[in-house]
Amino acid sequence: QKEVEQDPGPLSVPEGAIVSLNCTYSNSAFQYFMWYRQYSRKGPELLMYTYSSGNKEDGRFTAQVDKSSKYISLFIRDSQPSDSATYLCAMSDGNAGKSTFGDGTTLTVKP
């Protein structure tokens, strides 16, 4: 079993929809939770980073961490065609240099 499992998708939604992207994990030592967006033929770019549990909001994006359930989510409000990309969750315990990524969810937002 993988340490980080991500909903595989692909996900296709109409423009303006609310999107929910999710990851579960098994390592209770994870303290740092990241979401990256990766456009085709590009490197991942950091969207949001959360330490420990709770919510964090940045514009149309909200990251949510529930450590008791070992579950993290990224919500995208008012989704736009430019949000079409692969979204990767990543986690780290912060004590060493290692990070673990989910496999990614490919999102398509249709105009």
Partner 1 sequence: EAQVTQNPRYLITVTGKKLTVTCSQNMNHEYMSWYRQDPGLGLRQIYYSMNVEVTDKGDVPEGYKVSRKEKRNFPLILESPSPNQTSLYFCASSLYGPIEAFFGQGTRLTVV
Q: Which residues bind partner 1 (CB under 8 A)?
A: 6, 32, 34, 36, 41-46, 49, 88, 90, 92, 94, 96-104
Nearer to partner 1, 17 or 99 (CB): 99
Where do we find the tokens 């085709």?
40
**Are 36 and 49 within 8 A, CB to CB?**
no
Neighbours of 48 (CB within 10 A): 17
CB of 111 to partner 1, least distance (A): 27
Q: Give SS3 for 81.
A: helix
Torsion-angle region of residue 94: left (phi > 0), alpha (psi -120 to 50) or beta? left
CB of 84 to partner 1, least distance (A): 19
C-beta closer to partner 1: residue 8 or 16:
8
Q: Which CB, 88 or 107, lies closer to partner 1?
A: 88
